[in-house]
Structure 1
């Protein structure tokens, strides 16, 4: 069973690489470690005496204190957490306020590098607010340590320039780990109704298909109510359409060792020109910048949209997974249909788990999270304990298999899982692998038709064209200071102007003025710093 891992908005590869946010405040304090707490080095429980800790994480609207996974794990480990889980949209602000006040939880969980940025790690790490973990890992995180020894690239990616490891990663090794963000999906029934048997591979053919979506009543309801292309904001559409114009990241990217800032390039202007054309001709949803994801989903469930983003298509259409095999993944484009590129994830995310100075037992906290770097531990984190989402049954071959409990009968499995496990829609620490499916019936095949479909689409449409836009690399404090002011200012300005250019509020004839303004924000110095960062990373 797959999990809803990719988060929209800023929680994407694209956003993480666009422009780094400024570090926060706070004051340096001594560690709150209680050295009298005895921690076992293997097995469970982790501590003999019940230990209470606090944890802060992005929430999904579910009550973490009632999640069977966490309740069961508290009994297993003898560590009992209290949870602060503001909504994902509010989490960065709440986390920054907690850092600034000093009233920060013992553990930061599931933040990811978009919420606990590498700049913040270096800043708060240098102040002693986030504690370094590299000396504790060999003894108290043996599973992670084994992984770091086998994969030096992981250690390289999570080590700050001062030599410290301030946060633990999510390592993705599954079938869809290459996704930088959720895909775009075509409405398969519309394609069938229009007789489309091959998806467009060029920008021109893509445009022509959107026109057909608008004009030829593909939902067959006799109304002119079709919206060819939609999203809440534009993050996912940008991720998959910009490469058609030669840009594989909206911000800093590297090609043949040379770092560039793509949002001042002629290729980006071409992209904006194309998107404005789509907007002006009502091929792009007029509400793209004003609607929430819920409104997009409502349109999908009313059969009004032809191409749309979501982790899986049925999250938007309201269908069930087995029906979604008819909704094909977007085929990446280029001007000619050849030399296609797409961004892919480096499959390592920092910021998944950090321990703060307030933690009474960092060793126990590290032991607690280390379990998730095993197959058994990740399976437990993702699917929960027996009896909640799944139960053991025996198939006709005499094999024990996991089968959904009655709890799942009246709802989608992913919705049921979101109330059982915290590993839903956030960057949880651990080794994210493809797990054996939970079955509806004991004799069902190992993978569902939908899982096989998604793997096949990924293997055909993403992996062959993939390129990591920029490696995971930390800036030094001095480098961060050089880019902080221009980073925040330029990011806001670009977001504002991009929307204005696409909607026509600002004519693209003012492009030179846009470039001039960005140059005043010291974007050339920003790019120079990242060239230095890349050069250092390449030599390590």
Structure 2
């Protein structure tokens, strides 16, 4: 069951990430009721304790659904409604249809009182600015100050949160998911070494430089580490470079495959000399078949099949056993890749996830109870609320043991896994849930959990830094970026594959740079510089 529970963390963190809630509500206080209650639309809102409102209210809520259960049937939401006196009419179109449905709702004006779990893919920063300035999304900063003590405390603890969710007009229109889990700093799924191969070759220390990695990959290819007598080993693999790219860019001094901040300056990494060195190195690995020749043509399923055949030496995945098919216990023998240095980057550089996923919770102008809504969501930003929404109420997925520790219960037969069951109990599954993500208090932690935390503390946490802060653009800036970005990113992606595979020689680097310059890259960089300066000054 512990193995299954790890799938929860994937839903949260690749994506992206989640958040918690607790307390308060109101618009107007009078002196005698300042610490007790306030009123909104003739409904008293209790600023402490429960219920939140004395008289039952019903709000509409729109969120992406995963299809595992109807939200009105989820025990977590049912019991929380009973506790708060706040009930909901749920509109939960499938994840695949959610953005279309959300856009139609905005366009028609028939938008729900609350938008929950959208994330920046569906409720984009541009939409926050646009609909906020139109008055369709309500500003939240005063509500936060008055009715969200848990979220307010998080902002005070980490000022980057407020800077990252405050738009160009100075308002906050959506709350984020905040990730403080031990793996929060991961920029993406790590790379993992095949521990059995390392043992077979007598490798006692992992590579720390690009040259040391090259030498190890050569050994993977030539010394039959899987012991089957065949030259079938694949030293390094990926799918379209989508998972390994960040780690290799970092080895050459870059934090992002796009805009990054370096000493307060915005730069476009794919046109730097550092990027040329990255392409040169990866082309060398490809030409010598140290990088899987099928990297740019295979699907993830093919990569995993190779892992289960014990043919991979270094590979990306959220956890290594997702690729190898091993047990968690066996996967502890597969060490996490250590960040590399190179001749052009002698100090370790590593991108880190800021742990903030925007667009997770918004209150619209149709909502007649914004104070109650803010207090309702604030619970998810507390430790108690986070734990409650993460694993549901006691008696379903878990129960408290005699020692006060949580014990996981058997999963009903109709569910294939504990994660499927969990997704039927709580909405905090597979979406950008507005809550605080962290380790659940008193939940059992396996040896594998502790292994992951130790590897992260040694190989990610000391070096990880945000590549570029979460900024907002003005409408005009966003329009310009949209005009430039589609063709720019498409061209850079195509040329990366061509340079690495040798379809285009790196002798054409100057032509590549000239093409990028002709795409208004200077304006593109300047807009990001201006946005960074605003963020820095906020």
TM-score range, shorter chain: 0.7 to 0.9
CA contact (8 A) 2:182 2:453 kept: yes
Q: For residue 396 of structure 2, what is the aligned residue in structure 1?
A: 388
CA, structure 1 residues 415+188, in 2 after alignment: closer, same or farther (shift >3 Å)?
A: farther
CA, structure 1 residues 427+5, in 2 after alignment: closer, same or farther (shift >3 Å)?
A: farther
Q: For residue 36 of structure 2, what is the aligned residue in structure 1?
A: none
CA, structure 1 residues 10+482, in 2 after alignment: closer, same or farther (shift >3 Å)?
A: farther
CA, structure 1 residues 9+69, in 2 after alignment: closer, same or farther (shift >3 Å)?
A: closer
> Aligned match of 1:63 in 54, 65, 69?
69
CA contact (8 A) 1:279 1:285 kept: yes
Partner deviation per Cα, 1:405-429 (whole Å, 9 max, x = no partner): 0118997655654454433444322
Q: For residue 367 of structure 1, what is the aligned residue in structure 2?
A: 375
1:127-276 alignment runs, 5 A limit? 127-276=134-283
Indicate the SS of the match to 1:211: helix
* Separation (CA, whole Å) in 1 of partners of 2:229 and 2:426: 44
* Separation (CA, whole Å) in 1 of partners of 2:88 and 2:286: 52
1:281 aligns with 2:288: yes
CA, structure 1 residues 408+322, in 2 after alignment: closer, same or farther (shift >3 Å)?
A: farther
* Separation (CA, whole Å) in 1 of partners of 2:383 and 2:16: 25
Q: For residue 459 of structure 2, what is the aligned residue in structure 1?
A: 461
* Equivalent residues, number: 507
1:5-154 alignment runs, 5 A limit? 5=9, 11=15, 35=41, 39-47=45-53, 48-49=55-56, 51-57=58-64, 62-63=68-69, 65=71, 67-77=74-84, 78-87=86-95, 95-96=102-103, 99-100=106-107, 104-154=111-161
Indicate the SS of the match to 1:236: coil
* Separation (CA, whole Å) in 1 of partners of 2:317 and 2:70: 24
CA contact (8 A) 1:390 1:403 kept: yes
Q: For residue 403 of structure 1, what is the aligned residue in structure 2?
A: 407
Q: How high is the TM-score relative to the length of structure 1?
A: 0.84
**Displacement of 1:259 after TM fit?**
1.5
Segments of 5+ residues of structure 1 without an aligned counterpart are 14-33, 440-446
1:353 aligns with 2:357: no
Indicate the SS of the match to 2:56: coil
CA, structure 1 residues 513+61, in 2 after alignment: closer, same or farther (shift >3 Å)?
A: farther
Q: For residue 21 of structure 1, what is the aligned residue in structure 2?
A: none
CA contact (8 A) 1:5 1:424 kept: no
Partner deviation per Cα, 1:96-117 (whole Å, 9 max, x = no partner): 5654565655433333334433
CA, structure 1 residues 269+93, in 2 after alignment: closer, same or farther (shift >3 Å)?
A: farther
* Separation (CA, whole Å) in 2 of partners of 1:333 and 1:160: 36
Indicate the SS of the match to 1:235: coil
* Separation (CA, whole Å) in 2 of partners of 1:272 and 1:495: 12
Q: For residue 326 of structure 1, what is the aligned residue in structure 2?
A: 333
1:429 aligns with 2:410: no
Alignment RMSD (CA, Å):
3.1
Indicate the SS of the match to 1:135: helix
**Displacement of 1:7 after TM fit?**
6.1
**Displacement of 1:382 after TM fit?**
1.3
CA contact (8 A) 1:104 1:358 kept: yes
* Separation (CA, whole Å) in 2 of partners of 1:323 and 1:82: 43
* Separation (CA, whole Å) in 2 of partners of 1:108 and 1:418: 19
Indicate the SS of the match to 1:538: helix
CA contact (8 A) 2:411 2:417 kept: no
* Separation (CA, whole Å) in 1 of partners of 2:67 and 2:450: 30
1:438 aligns with 2:443: yes
* Separation (CA, whole Å) in 2 of partners of 1:493 and 1:246: 22
1:529 aligns with 2:535: no
**Displacement of 1:455 after TM fit?**
1.5
CA contact (8 A) 1:389 1:408 kept: no
CA contact (8 A) 2:307 2:324 kept: yes
CA contact (8 A) 1:69 1:381 kept: yes
| Structure number, greater radius of gyration | 2
CA, structure 1 residues 107+310, in 2 after alignment: closer, same or farther (shift >3 Å)?
A: farther
1:300 aligns with 2:307: yes
Indicate the SS of the match to 2:411: helix
CA contact (8 A) 2:184 2:353 kept: yes
CA, structure 1 residues 227+483, in 2 after alignment: closer, same or farther (shift >3 Å)?
A: same
Q: For residue 344 of structure 1, what is the aligned residue in structure 2?
A: 352
* Separation (CA, whole Å) in 2 of partners of 1:456 and 1:9: 18
* Separation (CA, whole Å) in 2 of partners of 1:502 and 1:4: 35
Q: For residue 520 of structure 1, what is the aligned residue in structure 2?
A: 518
Segments of 5+ residues of structure 2 without an aligned counterpart are 18-39
* Separation (CA, whole Å) in 1 of partners of 2:297 and 2:12: 15
Q: Which moved more, 1:238-247 or 1:284-293?
A: 284-293
> Aligned match of 1:497 in 495, 498, 501?
495
Indicate the SS of the match to 1:407: coil
**Displacement of 1:486 after TM fit?**
1.1
